[in-house]
Amino acid sequence: MVDAKTYNISELAQEFNVSTRTIRYYEELGILNPQRSVSGQRVYVKKDRVRLCLIFRGKKFGFSLAGIKEMIGLFDIDPSGKMQLEKTMEYGKQKLKEIDERIEELLALRNEIQFLYDNFHKTIQQKVGKE
């Protein structure tokens, strides 16, 4: 049985807690391609809803919209999903590298602040002891 549920732009905007303008922007970028009713209104199907889920997941993980578009679009080229998974893994590997680098930067920053804090605390203790 085919899921014939359709959505209008307001329903999807409310479900994903975004503006209708955001959804139209994804359409302008070519990530979404909704059908149109006879009156010209956008009609979204399950595939569009899934694409929105993927867009928001990709954004959560810090992927660019261009990268998200590329990953999602690969499913249209290769419905087996293999190409999409390979590209997603490639982007994911790069994102992990970026995260690891950021963690190292944050740890270095934390250590520097901790060093200064400890020195300031020691200086205060010495000044209090002299009074």
Domain segments of the chain as ranges: 9-130
Coil, strand, or helix at residue 31? coil
pLDDT reported for residue 128: 81
Contact (CB, 8 A) for 32 and 6: no
What beta strand segments (E) does 1-131 contain?
35-36, 42-43
Averaged over successive runs of 10 residues, the pLDDT of the chain (131 residues) comes to: 79 96 96 92 93 95 94 89 92 96 98 97 86 61
Single-letter amino acid code for the residue at 61: F
**pTM: predicted TM-score of the whole model, two decimal places:** 0.77
Query: What CATH class has 9-130?
Result: mainly alpha
pLDDT reported for residue 76: 86
Rg (CA), the chain: 24
Q: Which of 35, 41, 45 is nearest to 7 (CA)?
A: 45
The structure tokens 């270095």 sit at 108
36 secondary structure, DSSP code: E
